Chains A and B, each alone.
Chain A
Amino acid sequence: MLNYFKNLGLGSVTVLKSMGVAWRHLFTRSVTLQYPTEKWTMPERSRARLFNKIEDCIGCGQCVRACPTNCITIKTEKRGKDEPEIFASDGTAIKLRTLTYDIDMALCCYCGLCTFSCPTHCLTMTGEYEYSVYDKDEHIYHFAEDKLATSKAPKEKVEIA
Chain B
Amino acid sequence: MESIARLLQFIPRYDALPGIVRALLPVLVSCVVIFAALAIAVLFAVWLERKVSAHIQDRLGPMYVGGWHGWAQTLADALKLLLKEDIVPASADRLLYKMAPFIVFLGAFAAFVVVPFGASSFVSDLNIGVLYIVAVGSLSVIGIIMAGWASNNKYSLYGGMRAAAQIISYEIPSTIAIMTVIIPVGSLSMVDIVNAQKGGIQHWFLFRNPFIFLAFIVYFIASLAEVNRTPFDIPEAESELVAGYHTEYSGMRFAFFFLAEYANMFLVASVATTLFLGGWTQIIPASIVPQLVPGPILFFLKVLVIIFLQMWLRWSLPRLRVDQLMYLSWKVLLPISLVLVLSVGWLAVYW
B285 to nearest A CB, angstroms?
Answer: 30
Q: For this complex, into which size category does the number of interface residues on chain A fall?
A: 10 to 19
Q: Are B55 and A21 in contact (CB under 8 A)?
A: no
How many residues from B make CB contacts under 8 Å with A?
16
Whose C-beta in chain A lies nearest to the C-beta of B64? A34
Whole-angstrom CA separation of A4 from B332 in the bound complex? 9
A21-50 interface bits toward B, Cβ cutoff 8 Å, 1 = contact, 0 = none: 111011111111010000000000000000
Complex: A34 Cα to B52 Cα, angstroms: 18
A22–B54 Cα distance when bound, in Å, is 11
A25 touches B56 (CB 8 A): yes
Known A-B contacts A8-B332, A30-B54; A22 and B315 likewise in contact (beta carbons under 8 Å): yes
> How near does chain B come to A115, taking the closest CB pair, in angstroms?
37
Cross-chain pair count, CB within 8 angstroms: 39
Q: Is B60 within 8 A of A30, CB to CB? A: yes
Q: Which of B55, B312, B316, B331 counts the most chain A CB atoms within 10 A?
A: B316
A19 is an interface residue with CB less than 8 A from chain B: yes
Please provide the chain B residues from 110 to 135 with a CB less than 8 Å away from any CB of chain A in the complex: none
Any chain A CB within 8 A of the CB of B317?
yes
Q: Please indicate the chain A residues that have their CB under 8 angstroms from the CB of B331 in the complex.
A: 4
Determine whether the beta carbon of A26 is less than 8 Å from that of B52. Answer: yes
Does A28 lie within 8 Å of B58, measured CB to CB?
yes
In contact, B312 and A19 (Cβ under 8 angstroms):
yes
Bound Cα distance A18, B312 (Å): 10
Which residues in B have their C-beta under 8 angstroms from that of A109? none
Say which residue of B54, B58, B317, B332 sits within 8 Å of A15 (CB atoms). Answer: B317
Q: Is A30 within 8 A of B58, CB to CB?
A: yes
The one of B60, B316, B332 in contact with A22, judged by C-beta atoms closer than 8 angstroms, is: B316
Q: Smallest CB–CB gap between B336 and chain A, Å?
A: 9
Determine if B56 and A32 form an interchain contact, defined as CB atoms under 8 angstroms apart.
Answer: no
Known: A30-B59, A30-B60, A34-B60. Is A19-B54 also a contact (CB below 8 A)?
A: no
Whether B57 pairs with A25 at a CB distance below 8 angstroms is yes
Provide the bound-state CA to CA distance between A23 and B56, in Å: 7
* CB atoms of A26 and B317 under 8 A apart: no
Cα distance A61–B143 in the bound complex, in angstroms = 74
Q: Please, how many angstroms separate the alpha-carbon atoms of A26 and B57 in the complex?
A: 7
Q: Are B316 and A19 in contact (CB under 8 A)?
A: yes
Encoded as 1 (CB less than 8 Å from any A CB) or 0, chain B from 319 to 348 comes to 000000000000110000000000000000
> B196 near A: Cβ within 8 Å?
no
State whether A31 touches B316 (Cβ < 8 A): no
Asked if A23 meets B332 with Cβ closer than 8 Å, knowing A30-B60, A34-B60, the reply is: no
CB-CB < 8 A to B59: which residues of A?
30-32
Whether a CB of chain A sits under 8 angstroms from the CB of B79 is: no
Which of these, A8, A25, A34, contacts B55 with CB under 8 Å?
A: A25
By a CB distance below 8 angstroms, the chain B residues around A18 are 316-317
A30 and B56 alpha carbons, distance in the complex (Å):
9
Q: Which of A15, A26, A34 contacts B56 (CB 8 A)?
A: A26
Partner of B316, one of A4, A8, A21, A34: A21
| Contact A25 B58, CB 8 Å, known A8-B332, A19-B312, A34-B63 | yes
Is the CB of B241 closer than 8 A to any CB of chain A? no
- Among residues of B, the one whose C-beta sits closest to the C-beta of A36 is B64
Please encode chain A, from 2 to 17, with 1 for each CB lying within 8 Å of some chain B CB and 0 for all others.
Answer: 0010001000000100
Please name the residue on chain A nearest to B221 by beta carbon. A15
Q: Which A residues touch B313, using CB under 8 A? A: 15, 19
Q: How far is the CA of A21 from the CA of B58 in the complex (A)?
A: 12
Shortest Cβ distance from A129 into chain B, in angstroms? 22
The residue on B at minimum CB distance from A17 is B316
- Expressed in whole angstroms, the minimum distance between the Cβ of B333 and any Cβ of chain A is 11
The interface residues of chain B lying within 8 Å CB-to-CB of A19 are 312-313, 316
Q: Which residues of A contact B (CB under 8 A)?
A: 4, 8, 15, 18-19, 21-23, 25-32, 34
Chain B residues with a Cβ under 8 A of chain A: 52, 54-60, 63, 312-313, 315-317, 331-332
| 12 CB < 8 A contacts A-B | A8-B332, A18-B316, A19-B312, A21-B316, A22-B316, A23-B312, A25-B57, A27-B55, A30-B55, A30-B60, A32-B60, A34-B60
9 closest cross-chain pairs (CB), A and B: A22-B316, A32-B60, A18-B316, A30-B60, A19-B316, A22-B56, A26-B55, A25-B56, A32-B59
